[in-house]
Amino acid sequence: MAFIQTTLSLKGRALRLLSGREYSRAELEKKLQAFEATTGELAKVLDELQAKDFINEQRVVDSVLHRRSNKLGTARIKQELQSKGVDAGAVLDAVDLLKSTELERAREVWRKKFGNRHTPDSPPQTPTERAKQMRFLLSRGFGAEVIHKVVAGGGDFE
């Protein structure tokens, strides 16, 4: 019986990763750097994949926005995009897009977490409860002004 080589090439490893979800070039570099046999080989493979549109920064941004925008605020999504090595211009465009819907998204996150205990017109009754709700929304990356509107107004928004 012949020995079958089971090690993947850099390109094979990159394609396997990309088949699961979108990755930025910086993420792929970080993940595949340990498997690079010769200097420059990884950059060459990533250039080829980018030229064939297997690596596409806009798809990475769209994927993050699609997966995370219904759960997280603008600050957390911005941080996630930056950690993925996405271009600063693309991050700013995404932030501008998210800011227009931040209040509605915060309201929906608040309702999912606290709506079963409160009617939409009933804000939290105690300072402790209010602080808990504010900390929750803050940890999700929503801005202070939006948090105050959501928690103070319950479901009554402008």
Please state, in angstroms and as integers, the Cα–Cα distance from residue 132 to each residue in 83, 107, 123, following that order. 28, 15, 12
pLDDT tens digits for range 17-55: 999 999 999 999 999 999 988 899 999 999 999 999 999
- Single pTM value for the model: 0.82
pLDDT band at 8 (very low <50, low <70, confident <90, very high): confident
pLDDT, mean of residues 126-153: 93
pLDDT for position 37? 86
Handedness of CA 135, 137, 141, 142 (dihedral sign): negative
Place of tokens 């997280």: 72
pLDDT tens profile 56-81: 999 999 999 999 999 999 999 999 99
Q: What is the DSSP string of 108-148?
A: HHHHHHHTTTS-TT---SSHHHHHHHHHHHHHTT--HHHHH
Give percent above pLDDT 90 in the chain.
77
